[in-house]
Amino acid sequence: MRPDRNEHWSIRQQTEFFQTYYVLLREGFSLKQIAADLPVLYPQDREKFLKIYDCLNKGQTLSNSLRPYISQDIANQLWIAESHGMLLTCLKQLARFYTQKRQQLEHLKAVLLYPIILVAMMLFLLFSITFYLKPELQLIQTTSVPTNRIILRIKKISIILMSIILLSFIRYLWNIKKLFKKQHYLSRWDWFCDIPVFSKIFRTYAYYYLAFNLGLLLKGGLDLQSICNLLVRFDHRSLLYQFNLSLHNLSISGQELSVLADQKKYIPPEFRLFFSKGSTLENLSNELLFYANLTYGRLLFQLNRLIELIQPIMFVVIGIVIVLTYLNILLPMYQNLGGINYDNG
pLDDT tens string 24-43: 999 989 888 988 888 888 88
Measure the CA–CA gap between 278 and 283, rounded to whole angstroms. Answer: 10
Q: Which residue has the higher pLDDT, 129 or 296?
A: 296
pLDDT confidence tier of residue 145, bands split at 50, 70 and 90: very low
The average pLDDT across 42-65 equals 88
pLDDT confidence tier of residue 155, bands split at 50, 70 and 90: low
pLDDT at 340: 45
pLDDT at 6: 55
pLDDT tens string 88-103: 888 988 888 888 888 8
**CATH fold of 11-98, please?**
Receptor-associated Protein (1.20.81)
Domain boundaries, the chain: 11-98, 103-130+149-338
The mean of the pLDDT values for the chain is 77
pLDDT at 291: 92
pLDDT confidence tier of residue 149, bands split at 50, 70 and 90: low
pTM attached to this predicted model = 0.67
pLDDT at 54 over 50: yes
Measure the CA–CA gap between 242 and 232, rounded to whole angstroms. Answer: 9
Query: Which of 64-68, 111-115, 216-220 is predicted most confidently?
Result: 64-68
pLDDT at 342: 45
Rounded to the nearest 10°, the torsion over CA 276, 279, 282, 286 is -60
pLDDT at 176: 58
pLDDT confidence tier of residue 254, bands split at 50, 70 and 90: low
pLDDT confidence tier of residue 23, bands split at 50, 70 and 90: very high
pLDDT at 295: 92
pLDDT at 165 over 80: no
Q: Which residue has the higher pLDDT, 166 or 71?
A: 71
pLDDT confidence tier of residue 193, bands split at 50, 70 and 90: confident
The average pLDDT across 153-160 equals 66
